[in-house]
Amino acid sequence: MAIRIVTLFMIAFVLYACMPASAQPAVKTVPVSPTSAASGEQMFKSYCAPCHGLDGKGAGPAAAAMKRNPANLTELSAHNGGKFPEMKIFSTIKGDSDVASHGSRDMPVWGTLLPSVSSSQGEVQLRVSNLTGYVKSIQVK
Can you give the binding site for ligand HEC, defined by CB under 6 A? 14-15, 18, 47-48, 50-52, 62, 66, 68, 70-71, 73, 76, 89, 92-93, 99-100, 105-108, 110, 131, 135
Q: What's the min distance (Å) between Cβ of 126 and ligand HEC?
A: 13
DSSP letters, 44-60, are IIIIIHHHH-TTSSS--
Give the DSSP H or E segment for 87: helix 86-94
Q: What's the min distance (Å) between Cβ of 36 and ligand HEC?
A: 14
Alpha-carbon gap, residue 30 to 54, rounded angstroms: 14
Which residue number, 120 or 137, has a Cβ lying nearer to ligand HEC? 137
Which residue number, 102 or 141, has a Cβ lying nearer to ligand HEC? 102
CA distances from 134 to 2, 84, 130 (A): 28, 12, 6
Q: What's the min distance (Å) between Cβ of 70 and ligand HEC?
A: 4
